[in-house]
Structure 1
């Protein structure tokens, strides 16, 4: 093609047709420029397509991780709700009207700890690698960038509650809760006398002023969990919804 253009230009010069030569040269320059612009446009289009492909991979990976973490959160939050109910029962019920199994279950629920521990490998990778910039939806990008702060706020409340239980409730129970090996691990194999003794000891513990104060403090610490929890969950669901919407946009 280039040889053909050169041949035409030489022929015009030989024939001393300068006007036609200039017009042809200008046309050739324009043609070359158009070719360059088309090549640049194709290159830009290919780059944009690759960026969109990478963005879609990021969106899908984040969506999977957020869905898993939403389920993990719901499980942890359900534990806190059950503990709240157990404390309210402990405070208001006549303990002697409850069976030994019920008392043990209530006491166990109050004393146990359970925390929300999300998977964050993908999230951290997206943030630390700068791939967050691939997300073209500015609202979604901002939500993702700020999400860690909500996790930290919520987990701080869980950590404070767990710390209080470990530092105060556990030592008190160890000092005042008389354990029987058979009763502790298998109530059904113990005698009625042992069961009654165990129940009386547990009731004495539960009805002590120190224990009552401790569970009231636990209840107070949990207030922060119930304030931060719904905020965190709503934001997780909002991010999942936005991720799904963006993914559908690219796949349709």
Structure 2
């Protein structure tokens, strides 16, 4: 092909057709320019396609992580409600002429625990290592950074505060009212049983009643914080899923 163009150029020049040669030369330059532009366009298209694939992979991982977080935190909601229910059962028993029995021992044991929140952040760590700019939608990028940077951090802080309240104040005083802690195997799991030193004396113990109220306030605070966090996770996940569905 190059040989052909050289022969054609010599023909134009040798025949004195300078004007035709100039037109030919301009045309040749235009073809080269167009070729370069097409190559650049193809390269840009390939880069955009790779970026879009990477964005999709990152968002799918984040959506999957958020789904696991939703399930985990919804389980924490159920546990805190269970703790509160046990407190109410204990309070009702203490305000009646009911005698102690092992089912109460299970409730006494249940409330001496607090939920811990386990959020999956591998997808967000991956996003940070790649670069936040891989997410092209500003609203989605902001929602994700707010969720992991602020909402999750605050929830972990509330968890630590609840743990401190339970381990530093509630448990040491609470456990002193029990003479034995044993385990009983049930149909689905092993359960702890707390046996009071004097169950009847607990009915008149104002401090113990206040301890139960204190524990309940911790669990209600847990529910409040979980109730604020879960909708934000769900909203962010929905935003991501809607975007993925619209672009695929």
Q: Which category describes the TM-score, using the shorter chain as reference length?
A: 0.7 to 0.9
1:214 corresponds to:
211
Structure 1: tracts of 5 or more residues without a match: 189-197
2:54 corresponds to:
54
**17-26 or 149-158, which deviates more:** 149-158
Displacement, 1:29? 1.0
Displacement, 1:187? 10
TM-score by length of 1: 0.84
Which of the pair is proportionally richer in strand? 2
1:153 aligns with 2:150: no
2:23 corresponds to:
23
**99-108 or 71-80, which deviates more:** 99-108
Mapped to 2, the partners of 1:25 and 1:239 lie a distance apart of: 58
1:194 corresponds to:
none
1:124 corresponds to:
125
Mapped to 2, the partners of 1:187 and 1:27 lie a distance apart of: 90
- RMSD, aligned α-carbons: 2.5
Mapped to 2, the partners of 1:173 and 1:224 lie a distance apart of: 20
Superimposed CA distance per residue, residues 165-224 of structure 1 (whole angstroms, 9 cap, x where no aligned partner): 111222123333122x6xx33599xxxxxxxxx567235346522222222223333443
Runs of 4+ more than 6 Å apart: none
Alignment of 1:162-201 (within 5 A): 162-179=163-180, 184-186=182-184, 198=195, 201=198
1:101 corresponds to:
102
**Residues 236/53 of structure 1: CA separation in 2 closer, same or farther (3 Å cut):** same
Contact 1:63 1:240 in 2 (8 A): yes
**Residues 136/187 of structure 1: CA separation in 2 closer, same or farther (3 Å cut):** closer
Superimposed CA distance per residue, residues 102-129 of structure 1 (whole angstroms, 9 cap, x where no aligned partner): 32232222211221111222222212x1
Mapped to 2, the partners of 1:72 and 1:186 lie a distance apart of: 26
TM-score by length of 2: 0.85
1:249 aligns with 2:238: no
Aligned residue pairs: how many? 238
Which of the pair is proportionally richer in helix? 1
**Residues 152/12 of structure 1: CA separation in 2 closer, same or farther (3 Å cut):** same
Superimposed CA distance per residue, residues 59-109 of structure 1 (whole angstroms, 9 cap, x where no aligned partner): 121122111111111111211122223334434453543762332232222
Displacement, 1:24? 1.1
